[in-house]
Amino acid sequence: MCGIVGLYAKKENISANLGLHLSKMLESMSDRGPDSAGLAIFGKPIAKRTKIMVQSQFPEDDFQKLKKFLSTKKEISFSFETHSTHAVIKLDVKQKDKVINLINDTFPNLRILSVGKKMEIYKEVGRPAEVVKRFEIAKMKGSHGIGHTRMATESAVTTLGAHPFSTGEDQCLVHNGSLSNHNSLRRELMRKEMTFETENDSEVAASFISYRMNSGKTLKEALESALVELDGFYTFVVGTENGFGVLRDPIACKPAVLAETPDYVAFGSEYRALTSLPKIEKAKVWEPEPATVYFWGH
Amino acid sequence: MNILDFNKLSLRDINKTLQASDKNSFFSIKNPKGSHALAVGINKQITVKVVGSVGYYCAGMNKFSDIKVEGSAGPGLGENMMSGNIHVTGDVSQYAGASGHGGSILVEGNASSRCGISMKGVDIIVKGNVGHMSAFMAQKGNLVIFGNAGHALGDSIYEANIYVAGEVASLGADCIEKKMTKKHLSKLENILSNANVSDYNLDTFRRFGSARSLYNFNVDNAKIY
């Protein structure tokens, strides 16, 4: 199964409570996937700064070492926030590549979950209620966000197997379904020098979209090529710097509901995910068409 | 009238109350908030009005009862229903009326994919559009579509009838357009009047059904079996 949610704020009253709304939405989908849960929250960018999200299995030890190590590099000015097993490093956008290389070279046990001016990814093993509490998602503000609760089918229940998967800077993907050609597609993408952390099918979808966009395609074009190249079942929600997109495979057996009001656009695997939203009873509610790319952006 | 409110009662309590109720009783269900499997397995003549949208499998296995949803319904509405009437004022999701043996389903909005899949005698009327693969392997009964039908309508159909007033994106294997005879016009009129539908123009409907080339046993193919 798996459950997906997404919320795109058109008004301040929604963005001020984005984390709270998304937490409730994701918790309502717990029955669809109790294995792990995750969210991507797109907050306000700070001029010339970017964020690197790092995850560790042993955060107390690792993050202290990392912070100390980065402090020894006088040329790097950064701030360091920890949220349970995750840390957000905020730094000058020009120093981003250098710091990423430093982390990868010096701390092989740390995983970089995402990079971006707006996006922060939080994901862990456990039910949605535990995961949103662990990262205090309800306190977060933002223009939009997406979330996922996982019932694992194609790979192990691990933090890195949880969604969202980053597909590039300020971009990520969540997936409900299962892909049948992910092994051959992974091999193909590896030959094109894409790297993988897991055996997960959704990571292949994320990598496929990244690769297409790195090759100059727009998000819409990348998603349309997914319709041709990906075999299997999927409802994807893709979060980008400006908004979120939705794509269902042509068979469309994985459920999807969209709702729109003057204040927000919301996505849920089921209508239940939307019932906690303000004025939902007055929203335009509909099921997205198969094999059709939808997008809402600021 | 009995009011059953999801803010006060659990789904299990509500379903138990409906299933144990006396014949001819009337229930109004409040705040369903997309709950699954509401009003399933009822096997007596009662009337249920649901105020709000429901989730998966509403009114499944219905027998005799009249169930109205004032809102939309999720996947699997009225699955395997035997008789009675289901009326949804909004939209319905995938496989509404799947394998239904009898009774009728009226959807005022749109139905999504696989509407009436494997239907076995139920009448399904959709005032809006239906999605792809509707009436897939439909065996008996009638699917009446006021709007448009998605791709592969009536794929591998047996002896069900499909009536469409709008456009058909494409027909599935072994489904063909058939002549609308006087007999069929009067059948269609009956189906609609039984469901209390009055605003229609019979002349706009076209009829589709099985070419009977896919499922018929043919002695020339005996070796294959």
- Fill in the amino acid letter for A135: F
> Does residue A270 share a domain with residue A239?
yes
Catalytic choice (A1, A2, A162, A279): A2
Can you give the residue range of the structural domain that contains B31?
2-212
Give the Cα separation of A137 and A39 in Å (integer). 8
Can you give the residue range of the structural domain that contains A53?
45-117
The tens digit of pLDDT for each residue in B121-169 reads 999 999 999 999 999 999 999 999 999 999 999 999 999 999 999 999 9
Domain assignment of residue A190, yes or no: yes
Domain assignment of residue A159, yes or no: yes
Whether chain A has a CB inside 8 Å of the CB on B75: the answer is: yes
Q: Which of A24, A235, A248, A272 is the mutation pick for testing B, counting most B CBs within 10 A?
A: A272
Pairing outcome for strands B120-126 and B140-145: parallel
pLDDT at B99 over 90: yes
> Does residue A255 share a domain with residue A231?
yes
> Does residue A269 share a domain with residue A139?
yes
Please give the ipTM for the structure prediction. 0.91
Per-residue pLDDT, B224: 63
Chain A contact set for B91 (CB, 8 A): 285-287
> CATH number for the domain including A50?
3.30.70.120
Looking at the 3D structure of chain B, how many domains does it have? 1
Domain assignment of residue A123, yes or no: no
> Does residue A37 share a domain with residue A50?
no
**Cross-chain residue pair B55–A272, CB shorter than 8 Å:** yes
> CATH number for the domain including B129?
2.160.20.60
Give the Cα separation of A114 and B8 in Å (integer). 43
**Cross-chain residue pair A281–B56, CB shorter than 8 Å:** no
> Does residue A235 share a domain with residue A158?
yes
Task: Tell me whether residue A253 is one of the annotated catalytic residues.
Answer: no
**pLDDT band (50, 70, 90) for residue B220:** confident
> What integer best gives the mean pLDDT of chain A?
96
> CATH number for the domain including A196?
3.60.20.10
CA A130, A158, A96, A80 dihedral sign is: positive
Pairing outcome for strands B66-70 and B47-51: parallel
SS3 (DSSP) at A118: coil
Domain assignment of residue A24, yes or no: yes
The tens digit of pLDDT for each residue in A16-67 reads 999 999 999 999 999 999 999 999 999 999 999 999 999 999 999 999 999 9
> Does residue A96 share a domain with residue A24?
no
**pLDDT band (50, 70, 90) for residue B225:** low
Q: Which residue in chain B has the smallest CA separation from A268?
A: B34
> Does residue A206 share a domain with residue A77?
no
> Does residue A151 share a domain with residue A74?
no
The tens digit of pLDDT for each residue in A208-220 reads 999 999 999 998 9
Rounded to two decimals, the pTM is 0.94
SS3 (DSSP) at A225: helix
Put simply, the chain B residues between 107 and 126 with a CB less than 8 A from any chain A CB are 110, 112-113
> Does residue A89 share a domain with residue A188?
no
Per-residue pLDDT, B222: 67
Q: Residue B96: which of B71, B124, B76, B80 has the closest Cα?
A: B76
> Does residue A86 share a domain with residue A58?
yes
> Does residue A136 share a domain with residue A183?
yes
